[in-house]
Amino acid sequence: MPTSCHLKRRFLLGAAAALTATTLPVFAQTKTVLRISTPAVPDAWHARMWTVFKDTLEKSAPGEFEVQINLNASLFKQGAEPAAMARGNLELTSMSPADIAKLVPEFSVFTAGYMLRDPAHQQKVFNGPIGKELFKTVSDKMDVTVLSTCYLGTRQVNLREVRNVKTPIDLKGIKLRMPGSKDWLFLGNALGATATPLAFGEVYLGLKTGTIDAQDNPLPSVRAAKFYEVTKQIVLTSHLVDSLFIAISNKAFNALTASQKQKVSAAAQAAAAYNNDNNLQEESQLVEFFKKEGLQVTTPDVAAFRKAVQTTYQNSDYARVWPAGLVERINATP
Ligand code: KDO
């Protein structure tokens, strides 16, 4: 028969075991997991910025978050991120204007060539009243909160073989790879080429084997993804001052405390600032780099490209989808 001393000891051992069994997982669960998915290659500034996000958050909220960074579209394929966020399978990503335009048609104004003038104009538009209004619609329709605006760079045409390109007519018949959605394809065709959809991760091989003749991306992306190894020319069309928006699902954001929300937003701002500074600085130096790598870097008749592209958009259904006065407000933003 157990003595009371035995019983007490057994009770204490049992209680200790129960405590271990319940407390360990509870501790593990208290960290909020933030899964990030992006098609960016590791060497791109908009991939590296996620480490800045993670480190900033670790400093401001030590031990509160587990930030999981998935690059190279290893978690979700390019463009599938907003749907994954809606299903609750992903917390954060960087969305392109074309990703947003699928659900918020008026946002397609930012998929149009020659709409934003330069990186400073881009930041003023998105950090001012236009951004505020449109991001509210994005939150209502997509259930995600935009935390900051990244400058991806200004998109240029990058050809496999050297060609004399002055105006859109000179791109006739060129199979120009674009990301795989209708707004991107419209832009590629507006440039005068034959737009062909392909995921970012397949572009290098497409250029190498010749299944595509060209691709368009900002110079820092051409460097980071090493497209210069398999192409011979860059035509400085500067057709799109491109943006990426750091966004978090509303489900994940609303589960945070007010203080955590503020810290996550601040980390996203720090990440965007890091990306923007580096992309801007590198972009200004890359023409020399590509020339040294043996590429021809040529300047076309940009005014002719601008006119042709803007006319194509004005005469399309896009102009009807854009809210009255929006283009004028964008143009009037200093
Ligand atoms: C691309 O596929 O060309 C693109 O530049 C589109 C952007 O919106 C973005 O998805 C980017 O790829 C990736 O992050 C890879 O740099």
Q: Per the structure block, which two tokens stand in for 301? A: 């008749």
CB distance 72 to 39 below 8 Å:
yes
48 assigned to some structural domain: yes
Q: Give residue 314's domain range.
A: 25-332
2 assigned to some structural domain: no
Tens-digit pLDDT profile for residues 224-256: 999 999 999 999 999 999 999 999 999 999 999
Which residue minimizes the CA distance to atom 2 of ligand 1?
A: 200
Domain of 125, CATH number, reads 3.40.190.170
pLDDT at 160 over 80: yes
Q: Is 179 in the pocket of ligand 1 (CB under 6 A)?
A: yes
Q: CA 317 to CA 291: how far, in whole Å?
A: 40
Secondary structure of residue 94 in the 3-state scheme:
strand
Distance from Cα 258 to the centre of ligand 1, integer Å: 32
pLDDT at 22 over 50: no
CB distance 204 to 226 below 8 Å:
yes
Q: Is 195 in the pocket of ligand 1 (CB under 6 A)?
A: no
What average pLDDT does this structure show over 158-185? 98
116 assigned to some structural domain: yes
pLDDT at 8 over 60: no
82 assigned to some structural domain: yes
For residue 309, what are the CA distances in angstroms to 6, 100, 214, 247? 86, 21, 18, 29
**Beta strands at 144-159 and 233-249: parallel, antiparallel or unpaired:** antiparallel
Q: How many domains does the chain have?
A: 1
271 assigned to some structural domain: yes
pTM (predicted TM-score) = 0.91
Distance from Cα 18 to the centre of ligand 1, integer Å: 50
Query: Where does the chain have alpha helices with state H?
Result: 4-29, 45-60, 81-87, 97-101, 119-127, 129-142, 182-190, 203-209, 219-224, 250-254, 258-283, 286-292, 302-314, 318-321, 326-332
Q: Is 156 in the pocket of ligand 1 (CB under 6 A)?
A: no
What average pLDDT does this structure show over 31-43? 98
Instruction: Using the structure block, give the residue that is written with the tokens 């021809």.
Output: 296
Q: CA 265 to CA 269: how far, in whole Å?
A: 6
**Beta strands at 144-159 and 65-70: parallel, antiparallel or unpaired:** unpaired
Which residue minimizes the CA distance to atom 5 of ligand 1?
A: 217
Share of the chain above pLDDT 90, in %: 91
What average pLDDT does this structure show over 136-154? 98
17 assigned to some structural domain: no
- Between 15 and 214, residue with greater pLDDT: 214
CB distance 71 to 47 below 8 Å:
yes
18 assigned to some structural domain: no
pLDDT of residue 29: 54
Cβ atoms within 10 Å, residue 182: 15
pLDDT of residue 259: 98
Distance from Cα 249 to the centre of ligand 1, integer Å: 20
- DSSP class of residue 255 equals T
Name residues whose C-beta falls within 8 Å of residue 322's C-beta, 6 or more positions apart in sequence.
Answer: 106, 108, 109
Q: Is 188 in the pocket of ligand 1 (CB under 6 A)?
A: no
Q: Which residues face 155 on adjacent strands? A: 218, 240
pLDDT of residue 30: 86
Q: CA 275 to CA 261: how far, in whole Å?
A: 21
Q: CA 331 to CA 118: how far, in whole Å?
A: 12
User: Pseudo-torsion of CA 129, 133, 135, 139, nearest 10°?
Assistant: 150
CB distance 40 to 96 below 8 Å:
no
Share of the chain above pLDDT 70, in %: 91
184 assigned to some structural domain: yes
Q: Per the structure block, which two tokens stand in for 11? A: 């009770």
Q: Is 44 in the pocket of ligand 1 (CB under 6 A)?
A: yes
pLDDT of residue 96: 98
pLDDT at 7 over 50: no
Provide the mean pLDDT of the chain: 93
Tens-digit pLDDT profile for residues 76-109: 999 999 999 999 999 999 999 999 999 999 999 9
Which residue minimizes the CA distance to atom 7 of ligand 1?
A: 96
Distance from Cα 21 to the centre of ligand 1, integer Å: 45
pLDDT of residue 73: 96
